[in-house]
Amino acid sequence: MQHLEYSLPWSGLGTQRNLSVFRFGSGARKAYIQAALHADELPGMRVAVELKRRLQELENAGCLRGVIELVPAANPIGLAQMFQATHQGRFDFSSGKNFNRDFPNLAAPLIHSLQGQLGDDADSNIELIRQAMRRAISQLPEPQSQLDGLQRLLLQHACDADVVLDLHCDFESVMLLYALPQAWPRLQGLAARLEAKAVLLAEDSGGQSFDEACAAPWLQLAEAFPGAPVPLACLTATIELGGMADTEPQRASRDAEAILAFLADQGLLSGNWPAIPASTCSATPFAGAQYAYAPHPGVVSFLQPLGAQVKFGDPLFEVLDPISDRRSLVRATTDGVLYARERLRFAQPGLWLAKVAGATPIRTGRLLSD
């Protein structure tokens, strides 16, 4: 195991923040796994503890068939952001930006630099594109903030990987995945191994999140160079490892083993791994997800458990105003699975309270919430 450490730019005087990357194995193929880009989403960090221990064991046993890079704490900036004893790891205090939005879009410089370079061999094209990606990242403007520097470092390590997994969680949530539709056939085994209850697919969910920044350039290059074979050579997924409180050791160990078994499916690990189990859900379009909001302030009571299969019109939660006695029921506007709930129990303007994954598109435009 190699422990690589990088200093972030623009630290305050007398302080320094570092990003740690742990590299296991060797070879041409590569997987990249990071946790807690939203720094207060700790289940991924807990799973990373198990992954780090197991990857060391597997490396010692000679079971690695490629490079696996692990970033257990992908956001040292957000880790330090506490306000009145509450962790605030989703938004950068300095800029107000979501840590998982607005990653550099490499497509335009890649298309420009690869004009006339791609040939008829897909493997050669993959190597040329990865070289161009590394070059494009090195030629980005100097970071103007710690956040800019962090995003560049993360993308630099992930851009040439065959598999990229970004470990997150929601407030209260079932296990679920976000992925590109083109990647879903190869990710079905991962969803089954994790016993996911929902998979949300979108080619462009808006916001230039980390996983799409890694994978989308391959789709855009394939469109820009239709005469050359450009496969989707970076298989990415954002894994929502349940809710923010789901850090139990048994669960973390189980999820880590599921991820390792998936890497074995991809040829990155050898050994005896359990067979892929039966699927526990179907994939649905991210555009089919209902974000349910309250019509007025008040105390929230949820009326459906996480994972419930709901029908159009079923009540999801009620909102009660204790001063005016106003009471409102908020209902499902689609058939689907209730996959996430807000942890707060007081309704506020613009704050979603429940999410339902449906099979029929009901939203357009930007699909990600901030």
Q: Which residues contact residue 263 at a Cβ distance below 8 angstroms, ignoring those fewer than 6 apart?
A: 31, 68, 163, 269
CATH number of the domain at 346, please. Answer: 2.40.50.100
| Domain final position from 224, 246, 281 | 281
How confident is the model at residue 277, as a pLDDT? 97
Contact 231, 218 (CB under 8 A): yes
20 burial type by CB count under 10 A (0-12 exposed, 13-18 middle, 19+ buried): middle
- The count of domains in the chain is 2
- CA 92 to CA 1: how far, in whole Å? 31
3 state SS of 151: helix
Of residues 165, 110, 171, 98, the one with CA closest to residue 136: 110
- CB count within 10 Å of CB 283 equals 21
Give the tens place of pLDDT for each residue, 104-125.
999 999 999 999 999 999 999 9
Report, as ranges of residue numbers, the positions in the chain whose pLDDT lies below 70.
Answer: none
Burial of 116 (0-12, 13-18, 19+ CB in 10 A): exposed
Residues 237 and 200: beta-carbon distance below 8 Å: no
Q: 57 lies in a domain?
A: yes
Report the SS3 class of residue 187. Answer: helix
Query: Are 232 and 293 members of one domain?
Result: no
- CB burial of residue 263 (10 Å; 0-12, 13-18, 19+): buried
- In a domain? residue 331: yes
| Among candidate residues 226, 257, 281, the one where a domain is terminated | 281
Task: Determine the distance from the C-alpha atom of residue 73 to the mean position of all C-alpha atoms in its chain, rounded to a whole number.
Answer: 14
Helix or strand (DSSP H, E) at 243: strand 235-243
Percent of the chain past pLDDT 90, that is, above it, reads 97
CA geometry: angle 39, 300, 83, nearest 5 deg: 30
Phi, psi of 193 (to 5 degrees): -65, -35
DSSP state letters, 249-309: HHHHHHHHHHHHHHHHHTTSB-S--PPP---S--EEEGGGEEEEE-SS-EEEEE-S-TT-E
Chain segment 227-263, per-residue pLDDT in tens: 999 999 999 999 999 999 999 999 999 999 999 999 9
Whether residue 364 lies inside any domain: the answer is no
What pLDDT does 12 receive? 83
Q: What does the alpha-carbon distance between residue 103 and residue 209 come to, in Å, rounded to a whole number? A: 6
At 22, which CATH number?
Answer: 3.40.630.10
> Which pLDDT does position 11 carry in this prediction?
84
Of 225, 253, 281, the residue at which a domain comes to its end is: 281
Asked whether residue 369 is domain-assigned, the answer is: no
Q: Which two tokens stand for residue 134?
A: 């590394």
Q: Name the residue range of residue 302's domain.
A: 285-358
Q: Are residues 8 and 86 in the same domain?
A: yes
Verify that 336 and 211 share a domain, yes or no.
no
For residues 204 and 343, membership in a common domain is answered with no
Contacts 24+ apart (CB under 8 A), 308-316: 308/337, 308/338, 309/336, 309/337, 310/335, 310/336, 310/337, 310/338, 310/356, 311/335, 316/292, 316/353, 316/354, 316/356
> Which pLDDT score, from 0 to 100, does residue 196 have?
98
